[in-house]
Amino acid sequence: MIPAPFDYEVAESVEHAVSLLGEREEAKALAGGHSLLPLLRLRAVRPSLLVDVGRIDGLAAVRDAGEWIAIGALTRHHDVATAALVQEHNPLVSHAAGTIGDPQVRHRGTIGGSLAHGDPASDLPAVLLALDGEIDVTGPSGTRTVAARDFFVGVFQTALGPQELVTEVRVPKLTGDHVWSFQKYRRRAQDWATVGVAAVARRQNGGVAEAAIALVNMGATPLRAAAAEAAWNAGEDPGPAAAEGAEPPSDTFASAEFRRHLAQVLVRRAVAEATAA
């Protein structure tokens, strides 16, 4: 289908983008276009103005920020996957970014777009949630930092205000004591996860502490599997509790019941892989 008519402006800076987004109620930012353009073509969204933020300088860099790795919002999935700083300090993030879609998707889609889109089937939101990451958001009143746990509000809904842009994403540096795994079950190579699992913990006294497990596509937002985390911390089987509290969707890819089963299998695999490393 052909998109409904819209105006198009190129933003030259974050401030310019914020100001352009304020010009119309129905304005939308455009980054890699890999989620927005399909929605436009389906006429599922009909913005009157597209503000192209994809050419703003300085938002596609990865930098060392002390205890964190900071990733600019326009950094493409391929660059997140291959950046030496991310590979060295947070291989969970680089590995998960490398599983997104296919090479075309990874060369266009951006980390900021992936988070702002708020799709519970996307991978990086759950990874960020497991890592207790932070998201910088810039709007008319300046920049604020939102914790990943507060950012995802509902299906395609985030804490972003209408004139706000994601500008930077921060993930903690993992140490040699950390163990991690990312598991993704999908029917075809380039599909979104039917269910995905991001798991990370710190080795301690022959077991683990600070276990964090986040689920992809098991509810309206990415979810922390608190009961499975407690089981992992206690050295018990986290599988049975993996889907506790989750309300997975039923769709053409899988029933809710099958997703619950998958969550159990994938959480077990994630913990086994993480602790075997």
Q: Check binding of 110 to ligand FAD (CB under 6 A).
A: yes
Residues of span 24-53 touching ligand FAD by CB under 6 A = 28-36, 53
Greatest Cα pair distance in the chain: 61
Inter-residue contact 158 to 171 (CB < 8 Å)? no
Contact range with ligand FAD by CB under 6 A, out of 64-72, 102-110, 206-214, 265-273? 102-110
Task: Assign 48 to helix, strand or coil.
Answer: coil
Q: How far apart are CA 230 and CA 217, in angstroms?
A: 21
| Minimum CB distance to ligand FAD smaller for 105 or for 226 | 105
Contact range with ligand FAD by CB under 6 A, out of 120-128, 172-180, 238-246, 263-271? 120-128
Q: Check binding of 190 to ligand FAD (CB under 6 A).
A: yes
Inter-residue contact 228 to 246 (CB < 8 Å)? no
244 — phi, psi (to 5°)? Answer: -60, 125
Please report how close the Cβ of residue 144 comes to ligand FAD at its closest, in angstroms. 13
Contact mark string toward ligand FAD, 70..89, x via CB under 6 A: ---x----------------
Q: Which two three-digit tokens encode residue 102?
A: 């296919």
101 — phi, psi (to 5°)? Answer: 50, -130
Contact range with ligand FAD by CB under 6 A, out of 114-122, 170-178, 203-211, 263-271? 114-122
Q: Tell how far CA 214 is from the center of its chain.
A: 11
Please report how close the Cβ of residue 127 comes to ligand FAD at its closest, in angstroms. 9
Q: Which residue is nearest to ligand FAD (CB)?
A: 109
Task: Give start and end residues of each alpha helix (H) in 4-155.
Answer: 14-21, 36-41, 77-82, 84-89, 91-97, 103-108, 111-117, 123-130, 148-151
Inter-residue contact 67 to 173 (CB < 8 Å)? yes
> Is beta strand 157-158 parallel, antiparallel or unpaired with respect to 152-154?
antiparallel
Q: What is the CA radius of gyration of the chain?
A: 19
| Minimum CB distance to ligand FAD smaller for 81 or for 124 | 124
Inter-residue contact 59 to 50 (CB < 8 Å)? no
Task: Single out the residue of 102, 34, 119, 39 nearest to residue 74, CA to CA.
Answer: 34
Q: Check binding of 100 to ligand FAD (CB under 6 A).
A: yes
| Minimum CB distance to ligand FAD smaller for 86 or for 241 | 86
Judged by CB under 6 A, how many residues of this single chain contact ligand FAD? 30
| Minimum CB distance to ligand FAD smaller for 11 or for 241 | 11
Residues of span 220-259 touching ligand FAD by CB under 6 A = none
Please report how close the Cβ of residue 212 comes to ligand FAD at its closest, in angstroms. 19
Please report how close the Cβ of residue 200 comes to ligand FAD at its closest, in angstroms. 18
Contact residues for ligand FAD, defined by CB under 6 A: 28-36, 53, 73, 100-101, 105, 108-110, 112-114, 116-117, 122-124, 160, 165-166, 190, 192
